Chain A
């Protein structure tokens, strides 16, 4: 670390320079004896970064470059910059109404109002989060009557949405299973690998998406899971796979569970869309519950960003289903130990909203209805898109994968060049992997989109 060791009192032209100073070439010795210190700082800026007087003038973060732009964010920004009247933003990862407006759930508005009226205090939550929230979130995922809950075998800690919950789990893995790998699907949500990288957990991919069928490469998936070193963590999307929209069938889930048990792997679920995929909370939790029913120890990260629209409040949870309540207690204590130097304790507002909605019978019922509505809109849009594609495309290509896929996202099977065509010619914004967000599509725009897809698929390679 270069440093000029000078003080104002002894500064003089003969004083030594830091190597930084020489590099930049320009000196301004006139600054040395200025009385006003604030001006010094400014002056220095205008004549180059050298000053003999203030040693710390050259920022020590000189060499820091811009981080690479987030690919998904980039899509929204490009969309904003486009003035074409028919433009369509299918990069958005948040639910939109038929009018393509953002949507705040009615139950959330109600719960928020209730909270405002209650006027509760804003004290620190315990490190593990709001007890009422932790209780309802585990019950929601595993079912209130699940033996694992009754036997207190689940370590549940409130986390900051899915991301924060995944990070807590990753840190736990790094600490207690050093060297163990996490297997993630190819493709998967972009932030998964970043989370594991920053948590210093090694990862590798298992085959998942088959571009030939625009469906699941089930054999590849099973083979790769089998091949992984014993005791690997297998990251699974509980429902509504992001980004493909392709989920295993119930039978396929059973086979996946068989292989995982066989190889002594540990299943690690990321459940970001419970209720949002099919409209039913229970149906969407079926995969996780099946694993748990087999007596397996399971890690499960939850998020309420989509299903309750609480994106900005960052509310989720990490659950570790253990063999005993004692294990669960110890695991929970270690999760807390990881959380404390990250943020001390989690935020209260989102937790109270979820606890409110799930804990109140009337609000819970309303929530279920709103979720059915949101999921229903997406399914309607899929149907309309499929219908438009089938009727407009005379080539006989099978577009039924649109109907088989589920959730907010769909992998269209378009390659990068085709995606560019979608954007450049048709002003349809999507990510370069061929993913479209059905949440950003309205019934009214389905025909236009179908035209765009057909054109890109057939006329561009």
Chain B
């Protein structure tokens, strides 16, 4: 393949590029990342009342991104000396220790005995990637079991390190809740010693979490099967508003004596999205093994990017270790989670008030930033095309994008697309849909009047 490419190329002189063949001819455009594509479509839409329910970044009730107070306080206290590589190590170590305490418990024996290998990582993605590389390196033949469904990037991560993935059943589309029996079955049927990825709370994208009792059963079965539990902790504090409560699944596994792995992200719960702050930890038998594993993890990150940027690590470290700032943080997490709970309740009420024949209980049953609405692809498409409401094609709604001002418009729109004429619903082709229904769907101005007609208050 390489040879033929070069036969095409003559010896190039200092002539212009136009006469030369390109090295990159064979590079095709990459498919768009589904989550990011939603935001791009949203940004490109000129409709003034558009709603972005795509990416999982928190918004306040004005629909604005938030920089937490605790972050501003922490920032004020960080000196410029953080830029120096000499202080980086100390700051990183402190950060790792505090992160571990947060997830494993302040008084956890794991921490006291230093029985964990931890390194800072580039948010949740980076932590998962480091672990996937580590898994590949030391268990080259292994697979990763991912819940069905899961965050779309999980598959990309393990695929890029050449670890094949399998799914285990998780979400029950009919009940829109956990398919616990099938879940346990799949765990049991997986070969002993398999690697599993688990969402300990606020499952992404479904918002469906096991109960504590169910977690205990899962943990026992894991013990019996000697499976390796890897937790992707992206929403500690966001699910219930309480960081301790949201760590329950992990504490249960710890009590049962599992040596787990944990990817923590501070993107959402500290609003540090763009700073890429996360932590990867792997529990070990003892301090010595922890050091060996840490060294291996550092080597893996050294060839990928060196180390994560110090600014975000300093902020998170300060927030977790300064009692006053931490107190502010815990309150703010509660505020964010509470707002989301409220939006869930309001959305559900609105749909029920509209007389929707469908069951919308799952909106309040589900937990965390996302609601797996149950909307199908055609409905999602219509919501974007006609109502300028954007979400991922699987019907995942980021509740963080819902506000008191847009919730009615959202409810009305969902109601419209789910209760339209059955024939019209079958038509996935919007042109045909337009022909068969109102002309008013076709213009921006018309959409505006629709919005007004829906009592959209703005």
Contact with B along A228-264 (1 / 0, CB 8 A): 0111000000000000000000000000000001101
**B11 and A160 form a contact (CB under 8 A):** no
Closest to B12 in A: A261
A392 within 8 A of B: no
A70 to B84 Cα, complex, angstroms: 20
How far apart sit A45 and B228, CA to CA, in the bound complex (Å)? Answer: 19
B302 cross-chain contacts in A, Cβ below 8 A: 70, 163, 191, 194
Question: Does the CB pair A163–B88 fall under 8 Å?
Answer: no
**Docked-complex contact A67 and B298, CB < 8 angstroms:** yes
Contact of B255 among A37, A159, A320, A329 (CB under 8 A): A37
Instruction: Please name the residue on chain B nearest to A179 by beta carbon.
Output: B2
CB of B328 within 8 Å of the partner chain = no
Q: Interface readout for A108-139 with B: 1 if CB under 8 Å, 0 if not?
A: 11001000100101111111000000000000
B44 contacts A by Cβ under 8 Å: no
Question: Residues of B contacting A104 with CB < 8 Å?
Answer: 80-81, 83-84
Instruction: Point out the residues of chain A lying under 8 angstroms from B285, CB to CB.
Output: 45, 49, 58-59, 62
Residue of A nearest to B72 (CB): A119
| B399-428 residues at the A interface, CB under 8 angstroms | none
Residue from the set A195, A297, A331, A344 with the largest chain B CB neighbour count within 10 Å: A344
Chain A residue nearest in CB terms to B139: A60
Partner of B57, one of A124, A261, A311: A124
A54 within 8 Å of B (CB atoms) = yes
Binds A, one of B120-128, B173-181, B356-364: B120-128
Specify which chain B residues have a CB less than 8 angstroms from the CB of A372 in the assembled complex: none
State how many angstroms separate the Cβ of A62 from the closest Cβ of chain B: 8
Contact in complex: B309, A347 (CB < 8 Å): yes
Does A443 interact with chain B (Cβ within 8 Å)? no
Question: CB-CB contacts of B253-266 with A at 8 A, as 1s and 0s?
Answer: 01111110000000
The answer, yes or no, to whether A5 is at the interface (CB within 8 Å) is: yes
Q: A124-B273, A167-B303 are in contact. Are A343 and B126 (CB under 8 A)?
A: yes
Contact B289 A56 (CB under 8 A): no
Whether B452 sits at the interface, judged by CB under 8 Å, is: no
Q: Does A350 contact B (CB under 8 A)?
A: yes
A56 touches B258 (CB 8 A): yes
- Residue pair A163, B304 in contact (C-beta under 8 Å): yes
Identify which of residues 15-63 in chain A touch chain B, using a CB-to-CB cut-off of 8 Å.
37-38, 40-42, 44-45, 49, 51, 54-63
Q: In the assembled complex, which residues on chain A have CB atoms less than 8 Å from the CB atom of B1?
A: 178
Within B134-176, the residues touching A (CB, 8 Å) are 138-139, 153, 156-157, 159-160
Provide the residues of chain B in CB contact with A61, threshold 8 Å.
138, 282, 284, 289, 293
Contacts of A231 in B (CB 8 A): 2, 5-6
Question: Closest approach, in angstroms, between the C-beta of A65 and any C-beta of chain B?
Answer: 6
Partner of A341, one of B27, B156, B220, B225: B156
Q: How many A-B residue pairs have CB under 8 A?
A: 301
Contact indicator A342/B129 (Cβ below 8 Å): yes
Contact B309 A164 (CB under 8 A): no
| B345 at the A interface (CB under 8 A) | no
B75 near A116 with CB under 8 A, answer yes
Q: Does B182 contact A (CB under 8 A)?
A: no
Q: Which of A253-299 contact B (CB under 8 A)?
A: 261-262, 264, 266, 294-297
Residue A340 is within 8 A (CB to CB) of chain B in the complex: yes
Instruction: List the A side residues contacting B271 at CB < 8 Å.
Output: 122
Query: Which residue in B15, B126, B273, B289 is a CB contact (below 8 Å) of A123?
Result: B273
- A132: min CB distance to chain B, Å: 13
**Nearest opposing residue in chain B for A44, CB measure:** B257
B14 contacts which chain A residues (CB < 8 A)? 294-295
Within 8 A of B (CB), among A382-415: none
The residues in B between 1 and 60 inclusive whose CB is less than 8 angstroms from any CB of A are 1-3, 5-6, 9, 11-18, 20-31, 33, 36, 55, 57
**Which B residues, 62 to 87, have Cβ-Cβ distances below 8 Å to chain A?**
65-67, 71-72, 75-76, 80-86
Nearest B residue to A63 via CB reads B138
Whether B276 sits at the interface, judged by CB under 8 Å, is yes
CB <8 Å contact, B304 and A297: no
B226 and A55 contact, CB distance less than 8 A: yes
CA distance A381 to B410 in the complex (A): 68
**CB contact between A67 and one of B18, B139, B160, B295 (< 8 Å): that residue:** B295
Q: Is the CB of B6 within 8 A of A264?
A: yes
Which residue of A has the minimal Cβ distance to B2?
Answer: A231
Chain A residues near B88 (CB-CB < 8 A): 311-312
Interface residue? B299 (CB, 8 A): yes
Q: Which residue of B lies closest to A299 (CB)?
A: B23
Q: Check A123–B274 contact: CB distance below 8 A.
A: yes
Contact A313 B311 (CB under 8 A): yes
Given A40-B257, A342-B125, also A164-B296 (CB < 8 A) = no
Given known pairs A264-B9, A297-B22, A311-B83, the reply for A164 and B305 (CB within 8 Å) is yes
Is A7 a contact partner of B220 (Cβ separation < 8 A)?
Answer: yes
A9 nearest CB neighbor, chain B only? B220
CB-CB under 8 A from A205, the residues of chain B are: none
In contact, A54 and B85 (Cβ under 8 angstroms): no
Give the residue name and chain of the A residue nearest to B125 (CB): A344
Q: Is A322 an interface residue (CB 8 A)?
A: yes
Complex CA distance for A324 and B16, rounded to whole angstroms = 11
B309 and A333 contact, CB distance less than 8 A: no
Which residues of A line the B interface, CB within 8 A? 1, 3-7, 37-38, 40-42, 44-45, 49, 51, 54-67, 70, 94, 102, 104, 108-109, 112, 116, 119, 121-127, 153, 159-161, 163-164, 167, 176-180, 191, 194-195, 197-199, 229-231, 261-262, 264, 266, 294-297, 309-315, 320, 322-324, 327, 329-331, 333-334, 336-338, 340-350
Q: Which residues of chain B have a CB within 8 Å of any CB of chain A?
A: 1-3, 5-6, 9, 11-18, 20-31, 33, 36, 55, 57, 65-67, 71-72, 75-76, 80-86, 88, 109, 122-123, 125-126, 129, 133, 138-139, 153, 156-157, 159-160, 192-193, 220, 222-228, 254-259, 267, 271-276, 282-286, 289, 291-293, 295-296, 298-300, 302-312
- The 3 A-B residue pairs whose C-beta atoms are closest, nearest first, are A1-B193, A348-B274, A160-B305
Additional 13 contacts, C-beta under 8 A, given A311-B85, A336-B30: A5-B192, A56-B257, A59-B259, A59-B284, A62-B285, A104-B84, A122-B65, A124-B57, A313-B309, A341-B153, A343-B123, A348-B275, A349-B275
Can you spell out 22 A-B residue pairs with CB atoms less than 8 angstroms apart? A1-B193, A38-B254, A55-B225, A55-B226, A56-B227, A94-B85, A109-B80, A123-B57, A123-B274, A125-B274, A160-B306, A163-B304, A198-B133, A231-B6, A296-B12, A297-B22, A310-B83, A312-B83, A322-B24, A331-B27, A334-B30, A347-B122
